[in-house]
Structure 1
Amino acid sequence: MMVNALLSGAIVLAALVAALFFLRFWRQTRDRFFLYFAVAFVLEALHRLLWALAPQSEADAPQYYLIRLASYGLILLAIIGKNRAPPR
């Protein structure tokens, strides 16, 4: 159990560091792509934190996966928006 908490903490920290990098790139370029990725990584960190703190019986509850779905949806939205043709 202690190893899982340690690994979850490391994943939360890594996701927050990635979010800070994307946030820095967004501040330099003002490109929504980087903002969406930053928010997605914050949501991923939130998901991991809530999942690690949840009682073992609630770890597979759907609400934890809805956060992850929102995170992946933002990443998909960012990629689609970046690859769309610019308006004429």
Structure 2
Amino acid sequence: MIDPLILGFFGGALTLGFLVAAVFFLKFWRRSRDPLFLTFAVAFVLLAANQAAPVIFNIPREDQGTVYLLRFAGFALIILAILRKNLQKR
């Protein structure tokens, strides 16, 4: 069994990484006002919440909780944003 302190550390590191990616996409959205970048930023915030929630709420396995739905929503947003960008009329 992995030490919960180590799991908390890595969960926090991943959360920070996802939040940095979200800020990165928000920066590009402010410049271009392209909804693709805003959708990516929201998706990365959801992925950050997915990493932080098991540590905050002391969920031993993330596949056992409803926290997993945050990851699903984040990836679904990314897929829908890419589809919308590629299928829109020019």
Gaps of 5+ in 1: none
Q: Which runs of 4+ in 1 moved over 6 A?
A: none
Kindly report which structure 2 residues correspond to 1:1-88, keeping only aligned pairs within 5 A, or say none. Answer: 1-57=4-60, 59-86=62-89
* CA distances 1:8-62 after superposition (whole Å, capped 9, x unpaired): 1000000000000000100100101100100000001111110222334564334
Which letter maps to 2:9?
L
Q: What number of residue pairs does the alignment pair up?
A: 87
Distance (whole Å) between structure 1 residues aligned to residue 17 and residue 56 of structure 2: 17
Distance (whole Å) between structure 2 residues aligned to residue 57 and residue 75 of structure 1: 27
Give the TM-score, by structure 2 length: 0.86
Q: CA RMSD in A?
A: 1.6
Which range moved further: 52-61 or 71-80?
A: 52-61
Q: CA deviation at 1:2?
A: 1.2
Give the % identical residues: 43
Change (3 A) 1:84 1:59: closer
* CA distances 1:46-88 after superposition (whole Å, capped 9, x unpaired): 111102223345643341111111101100011101111415x
Change (3 A) 1:4 1:57: closer
Give the TM-score, by structure 1 length: 0.88
